[in-house]
Structure 1
Amino acid sequence: MNLAVQTGALLLAILGAYAGKRMRVFGAHDYKLLQTLIFNVTLPAAVIQSFAKNDHDLRMFWVILLGFLSALIPLLVIYAAARRAPRESRGFQMLVGTTFNIGSFALPVITTFLGAGAGVAVVMFDIGNAMMCAAGSLVLTNLLLHLDKGWDTMTTGQRCRTIARNFYSSVPFDMYVIMIVLLLCRVSIPEPVVTLITPFANANTFLSMAMVGMMMEVPQRRADMLDMVKVLGWRLAVAVIAALAAWFLLPLAPEVRMVVAITAFAPISIFSTKFADQTLDRGELAGFSLTVSAIISLLVMAGLCAWLPALL
């Protein structure tokens, strides 16, 4: 019953925010304010809280590797499989069908269902995912499809600076790096710091769900709907394969493997919507695809959180 109520609460946050947008309580671009708050305040705070409240095992670095490969390999597979598709469709599938929305979706959802102790495995997966999510997917797609005309005119130095800027300008990615350094140095986070950031970390779940609802915009073109269906199909295939790899291959405790397997069903990354808008002018379609995948992911992850613990 508690799981059903929690799932309903998260769905209510998504649908309530969308209803508010339709009734013009929120503006069409108000979600950008939530993006700023989430990526610069609540998500970094949630990362700190997760690392501070749980013990860590250096073998968890296997989870980072899985997160990276789960974002990299599908992009290359889609590039090869969609070679006959128009470049716009091919680029959309590569950008939107690969990386995972962990920090602002999977992390709050899984910690809501399984408790804060599950957060470390989720965060470790996101560190690997973030290498592709923050810049890697955009860089590779540009290199393979030449979507960004400005990219071709850049010097090697300018390209390197652009790539580096995409990484270090991401506050969550910076926070992940800091937490990993502290972990390797075996430095504990002071309790006053944890107390200070806890209210911000606790706000991450609601703001993340509300942002998803505010980004929803139903596409009108049939071609857009087909591209969205293709993306959702790719994501389902990637999620199943990554979850099976986590369950059967990771040399970690069963509880950790379970959490990583559930994390693999995270929805489309918010960075993907930004990149699709920036290079293809398809930000609204990417936003709607994100919302649809988020609702599907929420239901699937809730079901797995109820079912998988019984298999351990």
Structure 2
Amino acid sequence: MVIVVTRAIGFVLVIALGYVMKKRGVIRREDASIFSSLVMNVTLPCAILASTQALVWEGYLILPLFLGLLANLILDAVGYWEAKKSGRRAAVGLMQLSGYNIGTFTLPFVQAFFPPAALVSVLLFDAGNALMVLGGNYSLAASLDKKEKGLSLRGFAQNLYRSIPFLVYLTAVLLAAFQVGLPKEITALVSIAGNANPFLAMLMLGILLDLDVDSRELLRLFKLLTLRLGTNLLLGFVFYLFLPLPELVRQLLLVCLASPISVVAPVYALKLGSNSSEPANLNSLSILVSLLLMMLLLFFFA
């Protein structure tokens, strides 16, 4: 518990650092695009390569992989529907509500409180999650933004192909499936950059964060977060009670669903042309709520 709380406090402090630096004029909000480029093209791919070296493929783990993808698609639909209903940009609404921050938030929790074997099912859920988080959700959002009448499969594929994190994750999972490991020298090298990923991602969130929100905006943030939590609660109920999986795996699926919104969601919202601080504010709020959920789950599973 101490490790999880300490890490969460660290996240909050780095977000606060980014916010204070922006307020004091050390960094401009426009500079967030530089940090997002570093995260998406350097530190996140390196973190993916380093973390997936622990993957060992087993037959039943195809189900957690599929569920990671499915959970994203359901959240995409919920976010798209809410934005349409509220008269806002549907593409941004889809993007800011979806995805799970497992690599930089949930994995340390699992490593601290569950046996080492538990890591595999979480990584496989994250593999399906990564398919959407690292390109899939953005591809859907971008395609729907350009063509409201239908989804362009060609545009979807092109956006996935251009996503460096997605290509790296796909390569890493394929290597694990064929039991091909990277040389220790390469793993050690990418770990250096990968370890910087949580710091840069949280610093970027702080730069994008805007605490000057009125009561209506604050209510909307709580509405969006409640909508996401309600969707994940329903998914968790179905996953835990009805899936033919070992109890430990079902518990870990609940932990994955309790994860914060993907840290790259505000990056892609920015890429879609969003000038609002709502994606970053929602992301930061989800981190605090997820910490409470993690502690609650630990109480029941311990």
TM-score bracket relative to the smaller structure: 0.7 to 0.9
Q: For structure 1, which segment, 242-251 or 232-241, has the greater mean C-alpha deviation from structure 2 after superposition?
A: 242-251
2:191 aligned partner, one-letter code: T
Is 2:27 the partner of 1:34? no
TM-aligned CA distance change 1:223 to 1:11, over 3 Å? closer
The answer for the alignment partner of 1:229 in structure 2 is: 222
Partner Cα distance (1:52, 1:139) in 2: 27
**Matched-pair contact (CA < 8 Å) for 2:79–2:95:** no
SS at match of 2:88: helix
TM-aligned CA distance change 1:126 to 1:22, over 3 Å? same
Cα RMSD for the two superposed structures: 3.5
**Deviation of the 1:273 alpha carbon:** 3.0
Is 2:214 the partner of 1:213? no
**Matched-pair contact (CA < 8 Å) for 2:36–2:204:** yes
**Matched-pair contact (CA < 8 Å) for 2:130–2:169:** no
**Matched-pair contact (CA < 8 Å) for 1:44–1:172:** yes
Partner Cα distance (2:293, 2:20) in 1: 23
**Matched-pair contact (CA < 8 Å) for 2:102–2:256:** yes
1:284 aligned partner, one-letter code: S
**Deviation of the 1:70 alpha carbon:** 0.8
The answer for the alignment partner of 1:9 in structure 2 is: 10
**Matched-pair contact (CA < 8 Å) for 1:109–1:205:** no
Partner Cα distance (2:204, 2:112) in 1: 17
**TM-score under structure 2 normalisation?**
0.80
Is 2:298 the partner of 1:297? no
TM-aligned CA distance change 1:81 to 1:48, over 3 Å? closer
**Deviation of the 1:105 alpha carbon:** 4.6
TM-aligned CA distance change 1:53 to 1:198, over 3 Å? same
**Count of equivalent residues:** 301
The answer for the alignment partner of 2:127 in structure 1 is: 127
Partner Cα distance (1:10, 1:19) in 2: 14
1:245-266 superposed Cα distances (whole Å, 9 cap, x missing partner): 4444454444443333222122
Partner Cα distance (1:120, 1:42) in 2: 22
**Deviation of the 1:153 alpha carbon:** 11
**TM-score under structure 1 normalisation?**
0.78
Is 2:94 the partner of 1:94? yes
Q: For structure 1, which segment, 214-223 or 204-213, has the greater mean C-alpha deviation from structure 2 after superposition?
A: 214-223
Is 2:64 the partner of 1:63? yes
Partner Cα distance (1:44, 1:278) in 2: 18
**Matched-pair contact (CA < 8 Å) for 2:55–2:176:** no
Is 2:270 the partner of 1:269? no
1:129 aligned partner, one-letter code: N
1:198-253 superposed Cα distances (whole Å, 9 cap, x missing partner): 22222223223222222211364665444433211111112223333444445444
2:49 aligned partner, one-letter code: I
**Deviation of the 1:173 alpha carbon:** 0.9
**Matched-pair contact (CA < 8 Å) for 1:228–1:285:** yes
The answer for the alignment partner of 1:47 in structure 2 is: 48
Partner Cα distance (1:82, 1:30) in 2: 27
1:87 aligned partner, one-letter code: G
Q: Which structure 1 residue ranges, 5 or more long, are not aligned?
A: none
The answer for the alignment partner of 1:182 in structure 2 is: 175
SS at match of 1:30: helix
Q: For structure 1, which segment, 24-33 or 126-135, has the greater mean C-alpha deviation from structure 2 after superposition?
A: 126-135
SS at match of 1:71: helix
**Deviation of the 1:275 alpha carbon:** 5.0
**Deviation of the 1:162 alpha carbon:** 2.5
Partner Cα distance (1:174, 1:73) in 2: 23
Partner Cα distance (1:219, 1:92) in 2: 21
User: Between the two proteins, what is the percent identity of the paired residues?
Assistant: 27
Partner Cα distance (2:270, 2:159) in 1: 16
Q: For structure 1, which segment, 166-175 or 103-112, has the greater mean C-alpha deviation from structure 2 after superposition?
A: 103-112
**Matched-pair contact (CA < 8 Å) for 1:71–1:98:** yes
1:177 aligned partner, one-letter code: L
